[in-house]
Structure 1
Amino acid sequence: MHTPIETVNKLSAAIAAMLNDTGFAPYHGAVKVGVDLGTADIQTLVLDRHNRPLACYLRWAEVVRDGIVVDYQGAREIVSEQLQCAAQRLDVNIERVATAFPPGTDPRISVNVVEAAGVEVSTVIDEPSSVAQLLSLQHAAVVDIGGGTTGTAIVEQGRVVASADDPTGGHHITLALAGHYGLPYDKAEWLKRMDDSGDVLAVVRPVIAKMADLVRRHIAAHAPPVIYLTGGCCALHGFAEVFAAELADTEVVVPERPLHLTPLAIAACADAPDVRLQAV
């Protein structure tokens, strides 16, 4: 299903409006469920068969670091709780879900956590490829900037032809803020998430520019005309503009709520029969 960025913005707004809502809203029909196990957060999203959001749960949690689950029990408990909340809200049984992994990492890391929560993983796909599939991209790049990594996938003729993962992400932006202002890490993380003035950008611009330079090297041989950014730290005021300045010959597109794009894409591919344990 082709999903233009305008539709993604509307769906993401609906997700934000129902985020962590446990109110009873029974649904009768097939559902698609995605679990996004990130470095900074875990999100579980339930869609109907037309990719319309029904329930979404987010917990900020540092259970993954450098592609490795450092708090397996904590991750399992969060996923289990989110699945239970979704099932109770919608009055449905959730038995099969989709999940994803950063390019270049072992997909079993995410799969093991989700399966330990008591459900079957029917679909697993690398994170940027899920976004490329949702948007039905033909010639583009998807850059998924997570808490600890930046994943880049290059799409040509509708297929992912190359992918890479770099050990830099929102965590490094937080460290730059902590060092500059002399703040504890959690205070710097709060400042990053809450900034809407642009003051943070002056401090972290070099970190963002380094991310953009890494991406520029990955895409150089492919010359995609457009890059789609996803990941929570892309919402930082001025982030997309720094990327665009570093990649002057490439259009840079960021959705209005980039935090929810990858979970949306993962859930949307939950019923795709050809991506089970697909690695790039």
Structure 2
Amino acid sequence: MESLEKANQILAEFEKIANTNTAKSFDPKDGFKVGVDLGTSSIVLVVLDGKDQPLFGAFEFADVVRDGLVVNYQQSVQIVSRLKQQAEEVLGFPLTAASGAIPPGTVGNNKRVVANIIESADMAADQLVDEPTAAALLLGVSEGAVIDVGGGTTGISVFEKGQPILVVDEPTGGTHMTLVIAGYFQETIEEAEQRKRDISKERENFTIVRPVVQRMAEITRQALLRQPTEPLYVVGGAAYFKEFEGEFANYLQQEVYKPVYPQFVTPIGIAMSSHIIFPQEGE
């Protein structure tokens, strides 16, 4: 699939520079775009050039969002501000605006809080897109469904002719995996989270969290009963397990595609949704 191959190339380039405190070469005439992803387990800042190629990336692990809602506003602002400062020092120009994302169906003050955090970090809030729609931008999805498995929720967007026609969001995600691991080993949430991130324990961990993955697949199945579609793409940090998409495909009896570094799909898509800014405008 050509669109998936292109997305994988961008993801691989971003992964090379993420948290290295370095940036790719940049022609100011191309302009740049900025995206901020307030995730359940981490906050990611992405800077792309005007051609949607990665320039800079940084993230911090954080516990500021639960079930899609910001629960620690001040810490969120502090982290975004730190990431912004780091980017500006490396790139050599100010980041004057950034886009953000929200779980599908978020409304009212819960939606506005993402924009408020961006603005409190001294950037104008550009676009606010729902997370699966952001992911679809990078994946080039015009037909099919994007399943965004985050820390707190599983969000599903079904697309037709490039537009979302069905949006579903349910509170089952990576946090629930951590809770299951904590219960299994009778350890703290913090210990279980570290265990979950330990690549050497991935096979054992996946066996333990398989029921949670099947619950995510059932949420997806129910959505597809309302609006059958293909292909299916799964993204999000909680989908990093090697066996994840296979378990989904077996449950759904339908092929499921997962891009490389699925945790970075939505953050890059958020940046892609932004308007192009030119450095001289912020000087």
By the TM > 0.5 criterion, same fold? Answer: yes
SS at match of 2:36: strand
Structure 1 stretches of 4+ with a deviation exceeding 3 A read 23-28
Q: Give the alignment of 1:6-25 within 5 angstroms.
A: 6-23=5-22
CA distance in 2, matches of 1:74, 1:91: 25
The answer (yes or no) to whether the contact 1:3–1:135 under 8 Å persists in 2 is: no
SS at match of 2:93: coil
CA distance in 1, matches of 2:2, 2:40: 26
The one-character-per-residue Cα deviations of 1:55-100 (angstroms, maximum 9, x if unpaired) are 1011110101123221111000100111111111011121111111
2:237 counterpart (232, 237, 251): 232
Provide the residue aligned with 2:83 in structure 1. 82
Identity of aligned residues (%): 36
1:131 aligned onto 2:147: no
Q: Match of 1:198, as an amino acid?
A: R
CA distance in 2, matches of 1:54, 1:123: 19
1:182 aligned onto 2:183: no
SS at match of 2:226: coil
Q: Give the alignment of 1:256-271 within 5 angstroms.
A: 256-271=260-275
CA distance in 2, matches of 1:179, 1:7: 40
The answer (yes or no) to whether the contact 2:7–2:138 under 8 Å persists in 1 is: no
Q: Give the alignment of 1:76-225 within 5 angstroms.
A: 76-106=77-107, 107-196=111-200, 197-225=202-230
- RMSD across aligned C-alpha pairs, in angstroms? 1.7
The answer (yes or no) to whether the contact 1:26–1:89 under 8 Å persists in 2 is: no
CA distance in 2, matches of 1:3, 1:158: 17
Shift of 1:26: 6.8
2:257 counterpart (253, 256, 261): 253
CA distance in 1, matches of 2:24, 2:163: 38
| Structure with the bigger percentage of helix | 2
Aligned residues: 270
The one-character-per-residue Cα deviations of 1:232-273 (angstroms, maximum 9, x if unpaired) are 11111311111111110x22010111010101111111128x
- Could you say if the C-alpha distance between residues 45 and 180 of structure 1 is closer, same or farther in structure 2, counting changes exceeding 3 Å? same
Provide the residue aligned with 1:48 in structure 2. 49
Shift of 1:136: 2.9
The answer (yes or no) to whether the contact 2:32–2:48 under 8 Å persists in 1 is: yes
The answer (yes or no) to whether the contact 1:96–1:119 under 8 Å persists in 2 is: yes
CA distance in 1, matches of 2:93, 2:2: 26
The answer (yes or no) to whether the contact 1:38–1:147 under 8 Å persists in 2 is: yes
The one-character-per-residue Cα deviations of 1:122-141 (angstroms, maximum 9, x if unpaired) are 11110101122333322201
Q: Which moved more, 1:74-83 or 1:134-143?
A: 134-143
TM-score, normalized by length of structure 2?
0.91
The answer (yes or no) to whether the contact 2:144–2:229 under 8 Å persists in 1 is: yes
SS at match of 1:198: helix
Shift of 1:201: 1.5
- Could you say if the C-alpha distance between residues 28 and 88 of structure 1 is closer, same or farther in structure 2, counting changes exceeding 3 Å? farther
The answer (yes or no) to whether the contact 2:23–2:56 under 8 Å persists in 1 is: no
- Could you say if the C-alpha distance between residues 237 and 182 of structure 1 is closer, same or farther in structure 2, counting changes exceeding 3 Å? farther
CA distance in 1, matches of 2:141, 2:69: 30
The answer (yes or no) to whether the contact 1:47–1:268 under 8 Å persists in 2 is: yes
SS at match of 1:4: helix
CA distance in 1, matches of 2:38, 2:79: 10
CA distance in 2, matches of 1:206, 1:136: 30
The answer (yes or no) to whether the contact 1:66–1:167 under 8 Å persists in 2 is: yes
Shift of 1:150: 0.8
